[in-house]
Amino acid sequence: MSFPKNFLWGGATAANQYEGGYLEGGKGLSTSDVLTAGSHTQMRQITWKNEATGETGKTPMAFMGGDIKIPEGAIPAVIDGEYYPSHIATDFYHHYKEDIALFAEQGYKCFRLSINWGRLYPNGDESEPNENGVKFYHDVFDECAKYGIEPLVTISHYETPINLTINYGGWIDRKLIGFYENFCRTLFTEYKGKVKYWMTFNEINVIEMGPFMGGGLLKGDKQNVAQAAFHQLVASSRVVQMAKEIDPSMMIGMMVGYGVGYAGTCNPKDQLALLEGNHMSHFFTDVQVRGYYPNYKLKEYEREGVTLDIKDGDLEDLRKGTVSFIAFSYYSTNVVTLDESFDHGDGNFSFGAKNPYLKTNAWGWSIDPAGLRIALNTLYDRYQIPLWVVENGIGYADVVEADGSIHDDYRIDYMKKHIEAMDDAINLDGVDLMGYTPWGCIDLVSAGTGEMKKRYGMIYVDRDDVGNGSLKRSKKDSFYWYKKVIASNGEDL
Ligand code: BG6
């Protein structure tokens, strides 16, 4: 085992699932604040209200295309009698000192968090930021600095100020580029010297699968999603250039949910299906790293009648605003096949078949450390820029023993094997890997299901699926294990 001397070990979170304090300090509502809890089998819902008639209701968050069916005259809103997991989440807002101290105790070199856009710009379209929100993140970054922990900041992670959805239709409106630039200018000028590593959008490719989560969109048809994605890509490229002007030492990366696929059989049709799946996996990285749309995407748009509204300077911005590193999430792999004898598979990016060689967790996500080595090699071979595994982990319904201990040996086993895979990628394959921030290093709300019981943390938080619990933090076995891993720079697994 040997990891680079400056390898950035840490953990990852996101405001919409962790921060809570949903209306405190002047924060505005965001898209995640109108989402109810769901489960493995029941999709999360968006609640809505018709202000004129007082009528309320909820409608499923559309996935893989399709519109969100909110009745005419109604808007997404918080309604009485519903439980919203993001509102308190696991309350980083009031626990940040305690939590950062726990991360420091584990020896974190870096801590991934996201900025809640609505905390700085409650409606998203103001010209001046909310000072309370600006101060909150100063306090957080100062706390990190006390322990020498480097923040890794996701600028936008699944929450768009709800006003931007209601009054602009989300990222379909070009004006969001300007609002986002304004937001980023505040971030880069305020936190210059405190934050070096930034990522422009969490899993930017999620807009194609979950348009409401990824882009604040209510209309999920292909044309709308393609245009909204184009706006995000232009916005990202512009703020990369902005950051370089404000502070050339900042490193701005892109973040993708990386789907590694396997062809189910050696039938050439399966291989071709995999090729197309790989196009989907690489589209956003291709644009953000190379600086232009790949031909396969342009051809796909041409075939499907999708046209992009491109303004002067946009293509030049894409070329100039390429990223310095690729950050990605990796949980599991998926199988692409036309062979109907395969069972159906599950996972965050797995819509294909079940892999008979792999075990899964209770949510059907396969456990495949080799897939991480494949992901690292594929991305590095293709782009030759530094990589960062900023999400990885296993969701599990942990059990608290009578004495308060939590024996999560399955999590230790999962992490150990994935760290070994990273080690192989670095030392056998020569991949340039900057760091590792396992997901939900402290328990937080599941994005996909809104559950609490789908836990990823090495720190347990006492909170359940309906909002009960003291929010007390306690250490799982994996807490101590990961501390040892970091102290030995990955030698002692
Ligand atoms: C990633 C997201 O796709 O997967 C996180 O960036 C999310 O926000 C994580 O929480 C795990 O997914 P889930 O649905 O188990 O929370």
DSSP 378-424: HHHHHH-S-EEEEE----B-----TTS----HHHHHHHHHHHHHHHH
Rounded (10°) CA dihedral 379, 442, 458, 386: 20
455 vs 424: CA distance, rounded Å:
27
More confident: 344 or 50: 50
Give 56's strand partners: 49
Q: Is 350 in the pocket of ligand 1 (CB under 6 A)?
A: no
163 vs 29: CA distance, rounded Å:
8
Contact status, residue 160 vs residue 219, Cβ threshold 8 Å: no
Average pLDDT for 61-80: 89
How far is Cα of residue 68 from the mean position of the Cα atoms in its chain? 21
Q: Is 348 in the pocket of ligand 1 (CB under 6 A)?
A: yes
User: Is 351 a residue whose pLDDT tops 70?
Assistant: no
* pLDDT category of residue 62 using cuts at 50, 70 and 90: confident
Strand, coil or helix: 466: coil
Q: Which of these, 171, 174, 162, lies nearest to 124 by C-alpha position? A: 162
Give 353's strand partners: 335, 344
- Range with the poorest average pLDDT among 3-12, 58-67, 110-119, 283-292: 58-67
What are residue 409's phi and psi, to 5 degrees? -65, -30
| Residue of 367, 446, 452, 454 to test ligand 1 pocket, by largest number of atoms within 8 Å of CB | 446
User: Is 292 a residue whose pLDDT tops 80?
Assistant: yes
Percent of the chain whose pLDDT exceeds 70: 99
**267 Cα–ligand 1 center, Å:** 32
- Say what the pLDDT of residue 348 is: 64
Contact status, residue 188 vs residue 250, Cβ threshold 8 Å: yes
Contact status, residue 263 vs residue 337, Cβ threshold 8 Å: yes
Q: Is 232 in the pocket of ligand 1 (CB under 6 A)?
A: no
User: Is 441 a residue whose pLDDT tops 70?
Assistant: yes
Q: Give yes or no: 391 in active site.
A: yes
Average pLDDT for 290-316: 98
Q: Is 329 in the pocket of ligand 1 (CB under 6 A)?
A: yes
User: Is 154 a residue whose pLDDT tops 80?
Assistant: yes
- Say what the pLDDT of residue 352 is: 84
Closest ligand 1 atom to residue 445 Cα is 16
User: Is 349 a residue whose pLDDT tops 60?
Assistant: no
Render pLDDT for 172-193 as a digit per residue (tens, 0 to 9): 999 999 999 999 999 999 999 9
Q: Which of these, 377, 378, 355, lies nearest to 368 by C-alpha position? A: 355
Give 387's strand partners: 326, 433
User: Is 322 a residue whose pLDDT tops 80?
Assistant: yes
Answering whether pTM is above 0.95, one says yes
Render pLDDT for 1-44 as a digit per residue (tens, 0 to 9): 689 999 999 999 999 999 999 999 999 999 999 999 999 889 99
Asked if CATH classification 1.10.1040.10 holds for the domain at 8-29+85-487, the reply, yes or no, is no
- Say what the pLDDT of residue 343 is: 87
How far is Cα of residue 279 from the mean position of the Cα atoms in its chain? 20
The interface predicted TM-score (ipTM) is 0.99
Closest ligand 1 atom to residue 439 Cα is 9
- Say what the pLDDT of residue 1 is: 67
- Say what the pLDDT of residue 155 is: 98
- Say what the pLDDT of residue 241 is: 98
268 vs 336: CA distance, rounded Å:
12
Q: Is 447 in the pocket of ligand 1 (CB under 6 A)?
A: yes
Return the residue whose CA atom lies nearest to atom 7 of ligand 1: 447
Sequence-ordered list of residues with C-beta below 8 angstroms from that of 331, at least 6 positions apart, any chain: 347, 348, 365, 391, 392, 393, 394, 439
| Residue of 17, 391, 437 to test ligand 1 pocket, by largest number of atoms within 8 Å of CB | 391
> Within a 10 A sphere around the Cβ of 492, how many other Cβ atoms?
11
Q: Is 170 in the pocket of ligand 1 (CB under 6 A)?
A: no
**448 Cα–ligand 1 center, Å:** 6
Q: What is the mean pLDDT of the chain?
A: 96
Render pLDDT for 237-278 as a digit per residue (tens, 0 to 9): 999 999 999 999 999 999 999 989 999 999 999 999 999 999
Question: Exactly one of 391, 401, 420, 491 is catalytic; which is it?
Answer: 391
Q: Which of these, 55, 88, 84, lies nearest to 70 by C-alpha position? A: 55
Q: Is 213 in the pocket of ligand 1 (CB under 6 A)?
A: no
Closest ligand 1 atom to residue 448 Cα is 14
Average pLDDT for 227-241: 98
Structure tokens at 447: 């994005």
* pLDDT category of residue 456 using cuts at 50, 70 and 90: very high
**161 Cα–ligand 1 center, Å:** 20
User: Is 350 a residue whose pLDDT tops 60?
Assistant: no
Strand, coil or helix: 198: strand
- Positive or negative torsion for Cα 123, 129, 135, 137: positive
Q: Is 446 in the pocket of ligand 1 (CB under 6 A)?
A: yes
- Say what the pLDDT of residue 186 is: 98
Strand, coil or helix: 215: helix
- Say what the pLDDT of residue 63 is: 73
Element (H, E) at 475: strand 473-475
User: Is 234 a residue whose pLDDT tops 70?
Assistant: yes
Domain edges within the chain: 8-29+85-487
Parallel/antiparallel/unpaired status of strands 56-60 and 45-49: antiparallel
Contact status, residue 215 vs residue 235, Cβ threshold 8 Å: no
**445 Cα–ligand 1 center, Å:** 9
11 vs 35: CA distance, rounded Å:
25
Question: Exactly one of 159, 203, 208, 451 is catalytic; which is it?
Answer: 203
Query: What is the distance between the terminal CA atoms of the chain, rounded to a whole angstrom?
Result: 9
**Contacts of the segment 185-191: beta carbons below 8 A, 24+ positions apart:** 185/242, 185/246, 186/120, 186/121, 186/129, 186/134, 187/115, 187/120, 187/153, 187/155, 188/239, 188/242, 188/243, 188/246, 188/247, 188/250, 189/246, 190/134, 190/137, 190/138, 191/137, 191/138, 191/141, 191/153
Q: Which of these, 8, 13, 434, lies nearest to 202 by C-alpha position? A: 13
How far is Cα of residue 146 from the mean position of the Cα atoms in its chain? 26
Sequence-ordered list of residues with C-beta below 8 angstroms from that of 204, at least 6 positions apart, any chain: 214, 229, 232, 233, 236, 254, 255, 256, 284, 288
Q: Give yes or no: 300 in active site.
A: no
Closest ligand 1 atom to residue 363 Cα is 15
Q: Which residue has the tokens 């041409």?
A: 302
**400 Cα–ligand 1 center, Å:** 23
Q: Is 10 in the pocket of ligand 1 (CB under 6 A)?
A: no
Q: Which of these, 388, 397, 405, 488, lies nearest to 153 by C-alpha position? A: 388
